[in-house]
Every structure is written in structure tokens, then in C-alpha cells.
Amino acid sequence: EDQVTQSPEALRLQEGESSSLNCSYTVSGLRGLFWYRQDPGKGPEFLFTLYSAGEEKEKERLKATLTKKESFLHITAPKPEDSATYLCAVQTSYGQNFVFGPGTRLSVLP
Amino acid sequence: SAVISQKPSRDICQRGTSLTIQCQVDSQVTMMFWYRQQPGQSLTLIATANQGSEATYESGFVIDKFPISRPNLTFSTLTVSNMSPEDSSIYLCSVEGPRAGTQYFGPGTRLLVL
């Protein structure tokens, strides 16, 4: 069964304190791994797509990396506006559907 | 990116009734998706709706409970039928983005069933 897990479940950081979120996956074949940001009361907002091990993507203070079994979302010098739930999802190579992880709730304190 | 709106944004319903959720996209899209996000949990795909064909439902979801319409390339509805408190959730629609595998989500419909 395809599975996506994320850790930690919740993370509190001080402004400027860099850290990483983890997404581990178990799928028969990976078509792509996706990171989303979800603010309270809103739908998920697309951040990154990663397709192969070794790939990296960056956007402002966020950097996503991918290995064969997991992905990391690195947050450098976070600001309070980075507070949100970060979701990762995988799309398998044998279907079009997406399996979402449970998310990491990030709080950045000023 | 596509702009997606959903109606209603939230509702409180009585057990045994039905609610139809509308999803409107500002551009024509082939595939639309309906998700459920239960309190404190992640997203679970309910069904995929392509214009002009029957929706494809995921395991655990059936058409009688969640009928879907897709009358054109910019609009879809999801009905939650014969509701029970277990149906209390956020319902989200999404569309496929221009890059393979990406999705853009609507703001969600928050449903509480009493």
C-alpha cells in the first residue's frame, strides 16, 4: 500500500531559526513528489514538484530535496508569515492519483 | 495559476439531508478532483471528474453517497447525500495545473453535520 508520512507533526521555531521538515514515502513507483502549503481556512497552495532523486527546488526561504525514500523541505531563516501546515504528496507512476501525507504544522514565533 | 471558487464556503446541516457543493474555475480544465479533509487529517481523494464522462471514485467512496456532476470544462458539483455527523469535514475541489502532476485547490467548503 502506498504511504506517505511526515515528521514532525508540529514544529515551533523562533524567527530566523532554520530547520527541516521530512516526508517519507513508500510507493511502488514514483511519478512525482509535491509540496504544498496550507493556511488555516484555505485550500493547499502548490510549492514544488520533484521528479527524481537528487533533484532540488528553491523558492525564497524554502528548498526542497528528494532522495529515493524521502524528501526534505528546508526552511532557512523563517519568518512568522511562513507559519502554515506543509503537506507533501506523491503521485504514483501507475496511476494519476495523489497520496497526501498528514502534514507538518509549522509555527514561527517573532 | 487557475482561480477556483467554491460555494458554499461553510454550512451546518441536519442529519439525513443532502448538500451540493459547487466548484467554479476561471479557465477550461480537463480534470477536476474532489477531496475530503477531515479534522486534523490530510486530504483524501474522493473522485476524479472529467467532462463528458462518469466520475471515477476512489476505494471507500460510492456514487450514491457522493454524486458528482461535470456539465462543462469550468464547473463541477459534489453532493454529499444522506449526511451523518461522520461527513463533517472540509471538501475541496482541485484542478490539474499546466505542469504534470501539479494541482490548484479551491478554498474548501466546511461542512458540519449535526
More confident residue, B102 or A59: A59
Percentage of chain A beyond pLDDT 70 is 98
Residue with cell 514532525: A8
Rounded-to-integer distance, Cα A109 and Cα A99, Å: 30
Rounded-to-integer distance, Cα A89 and Cα B61, Å: 20
**Looking at chain B, which residue has its C-alpha nearest residue A98?**
B45
Contact B104, B60 (CB under 8 A): no
**Looking at chain B, which residue has its C-alpha nearest residue A93?**
B101
Distance from CA of B7 to the nearest CA of A (A): 13
Given a cut of 70, is residue B9 above it in pLDDT? yes
Give the closest residue to A48 by CA, choosing from A67, A66, A64.
Answer: A64
DSSP alpha helix (H) spans, B3-104: none
Instruction: Note whether B42 contacts A: Cβ–Cβ < 8 A.
Output: yes
Distance from CA of B103 to the nearest CA of A (A): 7
**Looking at chain B, which residue has its C-alpha nearest residue A39?**
B107
Contact A57, A48 (CB under 8 A): yes
pLDDT at position B26 is 94
Partner residue facing A103 (CB), from B1, B42, B101: B42
Strands B4-7 and A104-109, bridge-based pairing: unpaired
For residue range B45-67, list pLDDT tens digits in order: 999 998 888 899 998 999 999 99
Given a cut of 70, is residue B29 above it in pLDDT? yes
For residue range A51-84, list pLDDT tens digits in order: 999 999 999 999 999 998 999 999 999 999 999 9
| Angle in degrees, CA B101, B103, B104, rounded to 5 | 165
Spatial CB neighbours of B102, under 8 Å, sequence gap ≥ 6 = A34, A46, A49, B96
Contact B20, B64 (CB under 8 A): no
Contact A45, A37 (CB under 8 A): yes
Cell triple for A66: 528528494
Given a cut of 80, is residue A96 above it in pLDDT? no
Rounded-to-integer distance, Cα B55 and Cα A98, Å: 16
